[in-house]
Structure 1
C-alpha cells in the first residue's frame, strides 16, 4: 500500500470517528435538554396555590385489578324481628336496643359501634367508617375488599341512623357478594399510579384551579356501571376538593389508566 492510499484511509477512518463522536455528543445534549424540559414541566401545586393534604396515601408496590360481583339478595327470614324490611337488595331493620353514642365523631363512633358492626350487619367487619351526615343524622360505612373501600356505592354500604339523643336506633345494609379479581382472561394485577399523578390529571383537565384545596385522597374501587345487580369495579383514586368558591366536589380518577375520562 503506497502513502497516498494509506493517508486516504487514515483520513476516512478519522472522519468516521469524528462523525460517531459527533452523533454521541448530539444525543447526550438532546437527552440533557429533554431532562431540563421535563424538570421545568414538573407541576408545583404550591406555586399554583393549590393546597394538598400533609400526606398522600402510599402507592409504591400496590398492585390491583378489576373486580366483579353481584348484589346480595337479603331475606327477611334471616331475622326474628317483625319490623325488618327488604327492598331492592337492601335490608332495613331497627336495632334491638338503642345504642348511646358518646360523641358524633369518627373515633368515638368506631368505638361505640364496634361490637354492633361485628355482630349485627351481615359480615359487618368488612365495612369501614367512611363519613358522618350530621344534617340527616346518619353514619356511613363502606364495604371493603382486601382493606380497600368500594367507593360511593349504594349497593355496598351500611347506614346507621341516630336520633336527637345521640342514640343509634336503626340501620340499613347492602352488600356485593362473590367478589372476584380479574375480568375474563385479564387476571394480572397492575401497579396503580401515584396519587400525585391523579391530582395532576385533574389539574391539566382544568378541574383544579388556584385557591382550591384537596381535602382527602383515597384509593379504592369504583363501579364502572353503578347500582345494578351485577357489577364491575375498577381501581380508582377518589379525590375530594373544596373549591375557592366554597363548592365541594368529588372526582374519581382511574388508578390504572389515568387517561380515562374523569368521573364525578
Structure 2
C-alpha cells in the first residue's frame, strides 16, 4: 500500500469536510429564514392548506456519521457461476452478467422473490437491499447497505427479467473498505426536512409522504475514494397516483440532485434481444 498517497487523500478529504462543517450553521440559519417568515402562516398551516399529508415519521434518529469507502473493481475470478457470462464495463467498476440459461423467479409479484434471487445468484448479494421494482419495465433495483441504511446510487444492482418471469441479466457496482468516521453529526429531524422540501418547491399540493428513510449519498468523490453523507430519502405519492423520491442532506438540509443512471431499462438498452 502507498501509505503516503493514502494519507494525502484522507488529509484532503478531512480538509473538505472541515470547510463544509464551517459553513453548516450559516446555511442552516439561512434555511430557517426561508422556512419561517414572521407574519406569515406557519409551514404546518401551509402544508394543511395544500393538503400535503404524512403519516408517522422516524423519531429516534438523532445523529449519524460520515462514511468513507472505495469503489470496487471487478475481476472475472469473482464470477464463478458457469451459467453467467461476465463482462466488465467502465474501467472494471461495473459488471454485467448475462445468464446463459435464464433463472426463474419464484413469484414475480412477491418482493421477497427478488431478494431470494440476489442472495442465491449475485456475488456479495447479502450486502444489497431491494429499493424499487418496476414491473412494467421488468427491472428491480437494489442498493448496498450498512446497518440497514442504503447507499443511494452507490453500490447498485439492477436485475432484468423477461416475459416468462426469468432473470436474463444483471448489472452491478459495489463499494468496499467502508468505514464510519468517529465524529457523530446531528441529524435534522424529518419534519424539518419536509418543511425544507415544501419551502424549496418540490412537494406538490395533494401529495402524501409515504415513507422517510435515512441512508447515504456521495458528498465527495475522489477517483476511487468517496465520502458519503447521511441522507434522508423521502418517498411521495402524487395526486395522479405516481410516485417520486427526494433526497435531502440530513446534516446540512440541502436538497440533493442525485444523478441517477439515466440508461433506460428496456431490453434493447440492456443489449438483450
1:101 equivalent among 102, 105, 111: 105
Question: What is residue 211 of structure 1 aligned with on the other side?
Answer: 206
Provide TM-score, normalisation by structure 2.
0.68
Q: How does 1:208-247 map to 2 (within 5 A)?
A: 208-225=203-220, 229-244=224-239
Residue 143 of structure 1: how far off its partner (Å): 0.4
Shift of 1:123: 1.7
Q: CA, structure 1 residues 206+83, in 2 after alignment: closer, same or farther (shift >3 Å)?
A: closer
Following TM superposition, by how much is the alpha carbon of 1:150 offset from its aligned partner in structure 2, in angstroms?
0.7
Task: Report if aligned partners of 1:213, 1:243 keep a CA contact under 8 Å in 2.
Answer: yes
1:166 matched to 2:161? The reply is: no
Q: Per-residue deviation at 1:125? A: 0.8
| Structure in which a larger fraction of residues adopt strand | 2
- 1:43-83 deviation per Cα after TM superposition (whole angstroms, max 9, x unaligned): 1433431122x332x24244211111111001013334472
Is the contact made by 1:162 and 1:169 (CA closer than 8 Å) also made in structure 2? yes
The aligned counterpart of 1:200 is: 195
Q: 1:68 to 1:207 in 2, by over 3 A?
A: same
Matched, 1:133 2:134: yes
Task: Tell me the distance in 2 between the aligned counterparts of 1:240 and 1:228.
Answer: 31
Measured at CA, do residues 116 and 244 of structure 1 come closer, stay the same or move farther in structure 2, by a change above 3 Å?
Answer: closer
Aligned to 2:255: 262
Instruction: State the match for 1:74 in structure 2.
Output: 74
Structure 1 segments unaligned to the other structure (5+ residues): 1-36
Report what 1:31 is aligned to: none
| Pairwise CA RMSD | 2.8
Contact 2:85/2:100 (8 A) holds in 1: no
Partner-residue secondary structure (3-state), 2:194: helix
Q: Is the 8 A contact 1:59 1:192 kept in 2?
A: no
1:16 counterpart residue number: none
Deviations 1:112-137 (A, max 9, x none): 34444224323211111111123432
Cα distance between partner residues in 2 of 1:96 and 1:115: 20
Kindly indicate whether residue 255 of structure 2 is the aligned counterpart of residue 251 of structure 1. Answer: no
TM-fit CA distance, 1:146: 1.4
For the pair 1:91 / 2:84, whether they are aligned, the reply is no
3-state SS of 2:196 partner: helix
C-alpha distance in 2 between matches for 1:101 and 1:180: 34
In the alignment, is the contact (CA less than 8 A) between 1:219 and 1:237 conserved in 2? yes
Counterpart-to-counterpart distance in 1, 2:125 and 2:104: 19
- The alpha carbon displacement at 1:236 in A equals 0.8
